[in-house]
A and B are shown apart, each in its own frame.
Chain A
Amino acid sequence: MSLEINSGDLGKLMPMHLAVDPEGRVYSCGKILAKILGNVSKIDEMFLFPDEFGVKYFLSQIFSGNPSAERFLLRINGDLPLPLRGQSIKISQNISIINLGFGVHLSSAVQEYNLTSTDFSPSDLAMEFLFLHEANLAALSELARANTYLEAARNQAQILSITDPLTGLLNRRGFDSEFSAAFERRKIHPFALLHLDLDRFKEVNDLLGHSAGDRILIEVSTILTEEVRADDKVFRVGGDEFLLLIFTTEPHSEIQKISKRIITKIETIKLPSVLRKVSASIGIAIPDDRQGNCREKLLEFSDKALYKAKSYGQGKFIIWKEAVVL
């Protein structure tokens, strides 16, 4: 049985087909190809053929009945040399039908040639491909948006996790990471570790209540922040316990001035006259060879120095030395 179909109908049914003779003359052309290529009558005007495998070779292949001719790539001879995937079937001695497809270049082709949904045959999956492609991009951009939001939320959570909510200073967790980083760089950026504890803070809390105590802690944190340089770090690590990292090339001489200033300032905090003023004691440790590579040791030294300072009464500071270890 043989079927007959006129080329107009074939053009609609297979919008990407060509019917050619062994000379490369085009007898029928699908409507998308006609839209892309215009009125061309010879196949070598439509596509780019490399020199070594010219149009003659191509035609001889598709008329040879050679199975290798059943799948091939053709490049459009135009501004955008899109590769089209194709297949050919020899339907008579003088006619072969070539059917082409855009493959993964569909989106580029639609954009380049302004193709519309009515250009494609309803059985073609082109529309679904374009739909999926676009839906996919939209879904990705939505996910990226959600991602950005999560990232910001995570950063915020991270900041909160190292911040003391009352004073806004870094907390113990914040101290641990800053201290270990500073200790690593102690040879290049020398620093002093200050351990500060308020004197008679408990009295204030007991007599005036916790909100008054909180106000004093906030005032102290403001004083500490103001009395050190921007690069220095202040931490609140316990109730009325603060740690400071003071970066200076001359820790021994600088640190005494800073400590004196801090204590004087804290003693100016105004309190109801029934109460004696609050003050602060400071224990100081400066990295040298004695604590070796152990930063916990340095922290321990500052704690011991603080303990010693407290034992001399209030408003004192002591730099840790071997001699004072109790």
Chain B
Amino acid sequence: MTKVGIKADSFLTWNEVSDNITYSIVITSAKILEKSVNEFLEDMGSWLTRQEKIRRLLRFSGSSFEEFTESLGELPDRIRLIIPSLEVPDLETELLATKLYQITTSKREPGLLRVIAGILRGMADDYGTLAIITVKRDRIKVAVAISNYVGKRHFALSPLHGDT
């Protein structure tokens, strides 16, 4: 944080932050972690899926990884339901062939695609699905190899039904 010249405590939940600050945090963080920016963004996406509250909200999108991928287009609208002011570009999922999906965004936002790819990777793990996820310029390709590769992580509709 200090390397980018900002104070950690100057961030407030739901306060808008200018893109320049976001970019410099991303670039500096990647440098510190000795990763490429793309790698860092994907890791951030996967990290999001490991935050229990976020993971649970994502699991509401479908009961399988395929359903999750197919309904990815709903994700921006879901986010807008909670935080109407948050600008999220539209996402579109196309079924190219059986178990082969292509995801594109309405706005060219290469960084966002990397984060989405990371989320998809994280959620594939969560659903216990073996999938090959590749990002090419302006699109993500998801090929589902084995749907029930390992066991799904537990998910009950009621948060009180607990984990594991």
* Contact surface of A with B, Cβ cutoff 8 Å: 107, 110-111, 114-118, 127-128, 130-132, 134-136, 138-139, 142-143, 145-146, 149-150, 153
Task: Say if the beta carbon of B32 comes within 8 Å of chain A.
Answer: no
**How long is the Cα–Cα vector from A134 to B62 in the complex, in angstroms?**
16
Task: Say if the beta carbon of B3 comes within 8 Å of chain A.
Answer: no
How distant is B50 from chain A, measured CB to nearest CB, in Å?
15
> Closest residue to B83 on the A side, CB-wise?
A139
Chain B residues within 8 Å of A139, by CB: 82-83
Task: Say if the beta carbon of B12 comes within 8 Å of chain A.
Answer: yes
**How long is the Cα–Cα vector from A118 to B62 in the complex, in angstroms?**
10
Q: Which of A110, A115, A117, A132 contacts B63 (CB 8 A)?
A: A117
Asked if residues A138 and B157 are in contact (CB atoms below 8 Å), the reply is no
For B, the interface residue count at a CB cutoff of 8 angstroms equals 20
* Contact surface of B with A, Cβ cutoff 8 Å: 9, 12-14, 53, 56-57, 60, 62-63, 78, 81-83, 156-161
Asked if residues B63 and A107 are in contact (CB atoms below 8 Å), the reply is no
Q: Which of B56, B60, B158 contacts A114 (CB 8 A)?
A: B158
Chain A residues within 8 Å of B81, by CB: 128, 131-132, 135
Closest 4 CB pairs of A and B: A111-B158, A146-B13, A131-B60, A135-B82
Chain B residues within 8 Å of A115, by CB: 157
Grouping DSSP codes into helix (H, G, I), strand (E, B) and loop, the A interface class, with mixed when no group exceeds half, is helix
With A111-B160, A146-B13 as contacts: A138 and B57 at CB distance below 8 Å = yes
How distant is A234 from chain B, measured CB to nearest CB, in Å?
31
Chain A residues within 8 Å of B62, by CB: 117
How distant is A230 from chain B, measured CB to nearest CB, in Å?
32
**How long is the Cα–Cα vector from A149 to B8 in the complex, in angstroms?**
12
Chain A residues within 8 Å of B60, by CB: 117, 127, 130-131, 134
Q: Which of A138, A145, A153 contacts B9 (CB 8 A)?
A: A153
Chain B residues within 8 Å of A127, by CB: 60, 157
Report which residue of A135, A143, A146 has the largest number of chain B beta carbons within 10 angstroms of its beta carbon.
A135
Chain B residues within 8 Å of A132, by CB: 81-82
Chain B residues within 8 Å of A107, by CB: 158
> Closest residue to B59 on the A side, CB-wise?
A117
How distant is B13 from chain A, measured CB to nearest CB, in Å?
4
Asked if residues B9 and A116 are in contact (CB atoms below 8 Å), the reply is no
How distant is A258 from chain B, measured CB to nearest CB, in Å?
42
Known interface pairs A116-B156, A134-B60; 6 further A-B residue pairs with C-beta atoms within 8 A, sorted by A's residue number: A107-B158, A111-B161, A114-B161, A134-B53, A138-B57, A146-B12
Chain B residues within 8 Å of A153, by CB: 9
How distant is B1 from chain A, measured CB to nearest CB, in Å?
16
**How long is the Cα–Cα vector from A311 to B164 in the complex, in angstroms?**
82
Asked if residues B57 and A135 are in contact (CB atoms below 8 Å), the reply is yes
Pairs A–B under 8 Å by Cβ, sample size 13: A110-B157, A111-B160, A114-B158, A116-B63, A131-B81, A132-B81, A132-B82, A134-B60, A135-B57, A135-B81, A139-B82, A146-B12, A146-B14
Chain A residues within 8 Å of B82, by CB: 132, 135-136, 139
Asked if residues B57 and A131 are in contact (CB atoms below 8 Å), the reply is yes
Asked if residues A130 and B57 are in contact (CB atoms below 8 Å), the reply is no
With A107-B158, A111-B158, A132-B81 as contacts: A138 and B53 at CB distance below 8 Å = yes
Chain A residues within 8 Å of B161, by CB: 111, 114
How distant is B7 from chain A, measured CB to nearest CB, in Å?
12
With A139-B82, A146-B13, A153-B9 as contacts: A134 and B159 at CB distance below 8 Å = yes
**How long is the Cα–Cα vector from A311 to B53 in the complex, in angstroms?**
72
How distant is B158 from chain A, measured CB to nearest CB, in Å?
4
With A135-B82, A143-B13 as contacts: A116 and B53 at CB distance below 8 Å = no
Q: Which of B13, B56, B57, B63 contacts A142 (CB 8 A)?
A: B13
Report which residue of B60, B62, B157, B158 has the largest number of chain A beta carbons within 10 angstroms of its beta carbon.
B157
**How long is the Cα–Cα vector from A218 to B12 in the complex, in angstroms?**
37
How distant is B110 from chain A, measured CB to nearest CB, in Å?
27
**How long is the Cα–Cα vector from A142 to B81 in the complex, in angstroms?**
16
**How long is the Cα–Cα vector from A150 to B160 in the complex, in angstroms?**
30
**How long is the Cα–Cα vector from A131 to B159 in the complex, in angstroms?**
11
Chain A residues within 8 Å of B13, by CB: 142-143, 145-146
How distant is A157 from chain B, measured CB to nearest CB, in Å?
12
**How long is the Cα–Cα vector from A175 to B56 in the complex, in angstroms?**
53
